[in-house]
Every structure is written in C-alpha cells, then in structure tokens.
Structure 1
Amino acid sequence: MDTLKQIALSPPLSSHSKSHDYIIGLRGLLTLSSFLYIFLVVFAPAAVAHSQNATSTPSSTLHKILKFFSILFWNEGIIYSGFILLSARTIALPFIYISKSSEIETLLSPRLSIVGSVFRRGIRLWVPIAISLAISVGVFHGLGYEYVNEFAENTGNLSILVPYKINNVLVWFNSAFQMFWVTQKYSEQSASFAFPGQMLWVVNVVYMQSFTIYMTMVIIPYTRRSWRVKGAIFFIITAWWVQSWAWYSITGLLLADMVTNMDFKVKAQRGIKLYNTIYLPSYVPYACILASGLIMQYLWTAWRPQYQDQEIIAHGGLYYTGGLNEDFDVNQPQARDDNYLVLLGLMLIVETNDLVQYVLANRVFVSLGRRSLSFFLTHCIITYTLGIKLYTSLHLAHNASIAVCFFVCFATSVVGAEIFYRCIEVPSHVLSHMVFEWIRE
C-alpha cells in the first residue's frame, strides 16, 4: 500500500503504462518533424509546402519533389494537429486505468484523479512556457532583433517574421498568462508572436482542449461501450460542423477508450468480416483513409492551391454568423479535413500494427517524446539565434552552410532540451504535486 501511495504522489515523469510507449514515441517523431519544419522554413523555405517562398517559386520538378517530401515529413498542419490529437489520446489514460483498478481506487479515486489532473496541468505547462518565453525575450534583447530581418532580406526569405519585442516584465507576464485564457484566434497572441517560429499557440489549444477531454472522459466508467462510440462519433461530426478543435480531441479520447476498454487491437487484427469466413484486413481501409488525406494535401499543394481553403467554408460560422464560414481568417491555423484524415489513418495503423508499435517504442523516440515540450521550446530559440548567427558567419557555399547549421542546431537542441527538461519541466511537475497536496491538507 505504501508503494501505491508513493506512486500516486510522485511527479508524473511517466504517468502511462509501458504498453503505451509507442504513443510517446509517435510524439517524439512529431517533435523531430517540428524541428525539420522550423529549421527549413528559416534556411530553405522554398522546400516547405504552403510557405510564401514555396508559392512564389516556379514549379520545377525539383520544387514539386520538395513539396511532396514536405507534405510527408515536415508539414506544419500535420505537426500542430498531431500534437493536439496525441495530447487527447494520452491525457485520459491515468483516469481510465484508475477507474478500472479497484486496488488503486482506494488511494486515488477517479474524482481525485480528475481534480489533480486539472489543477496540476496549468502549473506543469505555465512554468515552462513562462520561463522559455523569458529566455527567448532575454536572448533577443541581448542579440538584437534586426539581424533576423537582415538575414531574411539577404536570403530572400519571405516566410519568417521578426519576433515581437516584449519590453518589460509586465508585458512578459501578461503574454504568458493569456496563453491559458484565449479561446479564439489562438495564433494572434503576443506570446506566440514573440516566440521564434510563432507556433507557441499550439500549447494554448492543447491546454484548452484538455478541458473538453476532462469533461467528456468522466462518462467512460458509467456508460455502455456502444453508446460511447456512437456518442463520440456524433460529437466529432458536430464539432467538425462548427469548426472546433474538439473533433480532433474527441477522436483521440475515443481511440484511448477503444484501445483500453474495447480490445480494439485484437478485433482490428482479426479483420473486417465481409462474408462467412472472408475477412478484409483492417489495414486496407486504414491505409485508404491515410492515402485520401495525403492525396488531398498533394492536390491542394501542387495542382490546385486555390482550392486549399474551400473546405473551411463548408463549416458553420460559429462566432459571427448563422450561415456558412465564408469570412474565415486565412492567417489562422485551421482544423482541416486533410490533416484529420492523415492523422486518423496513421493512428489507426499505429494502434493495430505490432511492428509499427515496436519501431515507435524504441528508446530514442520515447525519450524524445517525453521531452517533446522541452525540445519544442528550445529548438525554436536555438534555430533563430545560434543557427542564423552561424549561417551569416560562415563563408561557405549555401548548401554547405545549411548542412553545418543543421547539425549544430540539432546537437545543441538535444543538449538544451535535456537541460531544460531536468531543470525546468521536471521541477514544474514536482511543484504542481506539492501545491496540490498543500491545498488538500
């Protein structure tokens, strides 16, 4: 019993069972993709689909090949959508396991699990965000902001922005604070504009959508499985219609529920029954879902880019009209159908294929997945500072300079992420537990 109590009160460096390491590994793979995206949008923006340089560059064969690889390996939409869906896939697991285990329930009830998760999550995210934003502001105040603009002009880079300048401590605090309050136009925040790469808004969406998961997951122990599946599908369709990120989040929760409570993997490996003893391998429809999303991405990128945002009009204009979503902001990141299909097909394959799970559960991916937040918060700063400064100081050919910057930035990011993880992220976990235990006394 003492062991169980110690586990319940220890900082959640790994709050999931080892059987779900492949999900953490998939998050690590997305983290690598985010590094590739940030690095390439700075040093080779024409190789990044949907960037301003890519759309303004003549469509040569090489250009089309780079766009194709960009869609697969460093796609901004899949990266941020993937983090949102994976967060929803993992956040409910501790609650689901506690609800199933009568032994642990005597020490850590489902109610206490929910309350603790909701309370601790804000501290565990706010502290690293606030400190990384402070580091970014301090570094740019020391180096100056002009060199980013000079680099962009000298290299013809139309795809990066000079980070917004935060002038005092109060603006810094307000910028970090509002990251956990904004519910619309997530990317139009001073914190996100002030952070290199302008992708800090993703943490805002992940945090806000966690409350959708918390409110929905409480029904899992008390409703029938078939009702939960039908209800989740209805929820996903409704959230899609109003263009809410909740259709990604509830998809992640449904996957977690099916894998944990419904023997989804065993049933999927059996196949889909067509007639008597004839079964269709489940990976066939899963691969079709994945391929349909990738084909849409490729068509909008290389063939008809003018149709790329047409799907967004088909939603309800929730916040400004009772009609269709005809006045959407093209500069805002969107919950898109093509990204969803790619991620859904990928997740279904990952959840049901032993070989894929084995590959994703390797030490490197899992370790990187556990440090995904720290890596994300450090590699952006390193690329925009050390990377750009190193590039401008090298007197080598363009491609050689990029190659040197890539290896230096990646190695420095690995070291920096490990330091940030041990010095900032882990202590923030411990602090969240200490404060929660203090208010319970």
Structure 2
Amino acid sequence: MTLIQAVVEATGFSTANIPTYDRTASPSTSYLTGLRGILVLESVFWIFFQTFIPALVTDDAHGPTYQHVLRIVLSVPFWNESLIISFFIILSARTICVPFLQNPCAATYARSLIRRPLRMAISLSIASGLAILILSQLGTAYIDEFKSTLPNDSVSTPATAQSAIVAFNSIFDLFWIVTDFSEQAANAFWPSATLWCPSLIYYQGYTVYMLMVILPFTRARWHPQALALFALGSFWLESWGWYSVAGLLLADFSTDGSIKAGFGHGFKIAGDIRFAPSMSATVLIVAGLAIKYAWAAVPQYSNAELILHPTFHLSTGTTVKNFDKANPYPRVDDFLVIVGVLLFVEMSDSAKSLLSTRPLLWLGERSLSELNVLAVPQVIASDTI
C-alpha cells in the first residue's frame, strides 16, 4: 500500500461516488465547432486584407474608391475585426461552462479550472515564443520596408524583446494582467497586436466560473433575470463581464430544458399576442448590423457609443474625440449581432445541421484550442474540456 492510498483510507475519502462527465452522453455541440470554422475563414480574410489591401479594412488607408465601397458593403459580415474578436470572446464563455452545467459536480468544476489554464499557458507560450524568437533573429527592418513600399500604415511594426527574460515575463504577464490588456508587452511583440485577446478570455473565464457554479442549484426561472442584472452592472462599469454573461446565459439556455421551453413560447405583449423567439433574434441581428453599417459609412463616429458607458469617460476623462482606437472595449453593435446569431442557431435545427457539415468542422478543429489570436497562425477553437 502506498502512502497516498494509506492517507485516503485513513480519511475515509472515496472516489467511487464522484459523478463523472460522459461527453458521449451529452447533447452534441459540434455546430459550435462549425461556427468557429466560419470565424477562422473570416480571420484569414481580415489578416490578409489588413496586410496587403488595407483599404478593405480601414478607412484611414489609401486606396481606390471601389475598395472603400467594398469595405462598407462587405467588411461587416465577412472580415470585421472587432466582430470576429468579440465573437470568439462570447463563444469562449458559451463553451467553457457546458461540461459543468451538464454534470454539476465537484469533479467537473475542478477539471474546468485546472485544465484550461494549463492548455492556454502551453499554447500561448509556444506561439508567442516562436513569434518572439523569429522576430528577434530576423529583425523588423523588412516590415518597415514593406509598409513604405506598399504603402500600408495600418500594420504596426512588432517590437522586439531585449532579452529572453523580457520575453518570458511578457508571456507570464498574460495570465496576471486584469486591465489595459492591449498595452501589455506581449501584445506589442505579436505581429498583429492582438495577443490581448487570449489574456482577456482567460481573465473573463473566472467570471463564468464564479457564476456558473450557482446556476444548477437555483431556480431556472430566476437565471435570466439574475444574469441580466449582473450584465447591466458590468455594462455600466465598462467591464467585459456582460459579454461573458451572455455566453453563460446562452449555454444555460441550451442545456436547461425548462428555460428553453419557456423561451420557446415567446414574450407576451398584450392579451394573447406574443413576440416570437425567432423575431427576437432577427431584431437583434438587424439592429446590430444597422449600427455597424452606420459606423462603416462614417468611421469617424465609430466610437460614439462610448457615451453609453458613463463611468468609463467620467473616471478616465476619455471622450469620443480623444479615445485611442487601438484600445479595445466591448461594443454594443458586436454584442447585438453575436447574441442574435447565437440565439438563431440555438433555435434552428437547420442552422445546427449546416454548421455541423464536415468542411466547417474540419476548419473549426484546425484552429488552435483555447486561444483567440487574429494572426498567422490563426487560432481559437474549443473551450470545452
């Protein structure tokens, strides 16, 4: 008998009664993998156009008129940077809580908290380490030359780490920073300056972990109201928490039959008149797209929605005019589109079947798990365990 076995027997602890999570017995979420496959394609479009045809991505770049017209018409649904990033953030919250909601026990909860940091740390360390190593050896002079030759001022030249310890500390800091995600050193070392995304996803994961443990042990009909109240508070405080709560609520909707059945009856307006669930998704998508197209047509006002977050500009003195566009924040237009699309997918068997086709699943599975980086290699995939 080993020492560990002796301690276990002495304490009377037994693992025989701990429930386990059986993936094969759970409802399929393959359609979420297919949805990630679409986002991977859009990520490739974005990084390609950002590098070689910047006028298709940003209004600040010089280019012929037809490119700016294509940007206004096609960029929103096919290669909009903030929409892609925000979609991955909400999808992460939507998926990481599914195992626990399907099997709410201590073992499943512990597995979620232990595995995810390890997987993210390994993936980020390899990807960031390779990027930093390559740039430190090749330098960045050729990037500056490319930018002036094309020309392309939309691409930022990556910084280079002064030493190995600086590179290590920058990667280590990805899992500790809780504010100013885009200003961390590792983000500057990354070619597309989007390494703030996995750092934010990791940090917001604990918002989901804190809330999801409550849901299985409270009345289901209270969940939407309670989570909506939390989302409203985080929206007011300009936190990304309302994105995370949206993903958690969608996961709760898909795993709890009573919530889904109640939502399926629609919203009562007056008498026997009800607002159909499909109409809710349609309204959200149309409203979000309308706002995004408005900002695409008049990009100088794209940050006008900052006035909806009083604590943001009152506490920091930031206004629409002096706001740094490189500083990411949770956008209302992205939120409306994403929640509407995910609601529509959850309610439509046809959409789930289409997203579960083999080509989309292949693309979704090729993306690197647990990350959200819009650069070559393009990454983010499953957050499920």
TM-score, length-normalised on structure 2?
Answer: 0.85
Which of the numbers 214, 225, 228 marks the counterpart of 1:219?
A: 214
Is 1:240 matched with 2:227?
no
Q: Does 1:39 align with 2:48?
A: yes
- Counterpart position of 1:251: 246
Q: In 1, distance between residues paired with 2:253 and 2:303?
A: 32
Contact kept, 8 Å, 1:35 with 1:376, in 2: the verdict is no
Correspondence for 2:347 among 343, 352, 358: 352
RMSD: 3.4
Greater shift, 341-350 or 369-378, is seen at 369-378
CA pair 98-317 structure 1, distance change in 2 beyond 3 A: same
Flag structure 1 segments of 5+ consecutive residues without an equivalent. Answer: 100-109, 383-412, 434-441
Quote the offset at 1:169 in angstroms: 1.6
The equivalent residue for 1:170 is 165
- Of 291, 294, 297, which aligns to 2:289? 294
1:85: which partner in 2?
90
Structure 1's 341 and 19: CA in aligned 2 closer, same or farther, altered over 3 A? same
Residue 313 to residue 328, structure 1, CA distance change in 2 (3 Å): farther
Q: Give the conservation status (yes or no) of the 8 Å contact 1:272–1:279.
A: yes
Are the equivalent residues in 2 in contact too, given 1:148–1:162 (CA < 8 A)? yes
| In the alignment, structure 1 residue 96 sits paired with structure 2 residue 93 | no
SS across alignment from 2:311: coil
After superposition, the Cα gap between the structure-2 partners of 1:322 and 1:374, relative to the gap in structure 1 and judged at 3 Å, is closer
Tell me the equivalent position of 1:403. Answer: none
Structure 1 residue 132 corresponds to structure 2 residue 127 = yes
- State the one-letter code of the partner of 1:202: C
2:233 is equivalent to residue 228 of structure 1: no
**What is the total number of aligned residue pairs between the two structures?**
370
For 1:244 and 1:306, locate their aligned partners in 2 and report how far apart those are by CA, in whole Å. 24
Q: Is the 8 A contact 1:241 1:315 kept in 2?
A: yes
Deviation at 1:272, TM superposition (A): 5.1
Per the alignment, in what secondary structure is the counterpart of residue 179 of structure 2?
A: coil
* Alignment partners' CA distance in 2, 1:155 and 1:252: 40
CA distance in 2, matches of 1:352, 1:150: 50
* 1:311 equivalenced with 2:305 (yes/no): yes
The DSSP-based 3-state class of the residue aligned with 1:317 is helix
Matches within 5 A, 1:252-291: 252-263=247-258, 281-291=276-286
Superposition deviation, residue 6 in structure 1: 12
Counterpart of 1:26, as a letter, is L
Instruction: Specify every segment of 5 or more residues in structure 2 that has no aligned partner in the other structure, as ranges.
Output: 1-14
| 3-state DSSP of counterpart to 2:192 | coil
SS of residue paired to 1:187: helix
- 3-state SS of paired residue (2:82): helix
1: CA distance, partners of 2:242 / 2:328: 15
Report the equivalent of 2:9: none
Q: 1:231 to 1:266 in 2, by over 3 A?
A: closer
Residues in 2 aligned to 1:74 and 1:145: alpha-carbon distance in whole angstroms: 26
The corresponding residue for 2:77 is 72
Residue range with higher mean Cα deviation, 218-227 or 315-324? 315-324
Which 10-residue stretch deviates more, 241-250 or 116-125?
116-125
Q: What secondary structure does 1:321 align onto?
A: helix
1:321 to 312, 315, 320: 315
Q: 1:369 to 1:67 in 2, by over 3 A?
A: same
TM-score w.r.t. length of structure 1: 0.75
Corresponding residue for residue 337 of structure 2: 342
* Alpha-carbon contact 1:317-1:324 (below 8 Å) kept: no
The answer to whether the aligner puts 1:24 opposite 2:33 as a matched pair is yes
| Deviation, structure 1 residue 372 | 2.4
Match of 2:10 in 1: none
* Percent of matched pairs sharing the same residue: 34
Q: Distance in 2 between matches of 1:5 and 1:368?
A: 36
What is the aligned partner in structure 2 of residue 152 from structure 1? 147
1:282 counterpart letter in structure 2 = P
Distance in 1 between residues matched to 2:316 and 2:142, nearest whole Å: 46
**How far apart, CA to CA, are the structure 2 residues paired with 1:193 and 1:17?**
41
Preserved contact between residue 227 and residue 249 of structure 2 (Cα < 8 Å) = yes
Contact 1:132 1:377 in 2 (8 A): no
C-alpha offsets along residues 243-301 of structure 1, whole Å, 9 cap, x if unaligned? 11000000110111111113555555555566777665432231121011111111111
Please state how far the C-alpha of 1:359 moved relative to its aligned partner: 0.9
Amino acid at match of 2:86: S
**Do the aligned residues in 2 keep the contact of 1:31 with 1:375 (CA within 8 Å)?**
no
Name the aligned partner's letter for residue 235 of structure 1: F
Q: For residues 17 and 51 of structure 1, what CA distance do their matches in structure 2 show?
A: 46
Please give the alpha-carbon distance, in whole angstroms, between the structure 2 residues aligned to 1:129 and 1:267. Answer: 41
C-alpha contact 1:316 1:323 (8 A) present in aligned 2: no
Q: Who is 1:191 aligned against?
A: 186
Supply the distance in 2 between the matched residues of 1:142 and 1:129 (Cα, whole angstroms).
Answer: 20
Cα 1:342/1:378, change in 2 over 3 Å:
closer
**Does 171-180 or 278-287 show the bigger shift?**
278-287
Q: Corresponding residue for 2:156? A: 161
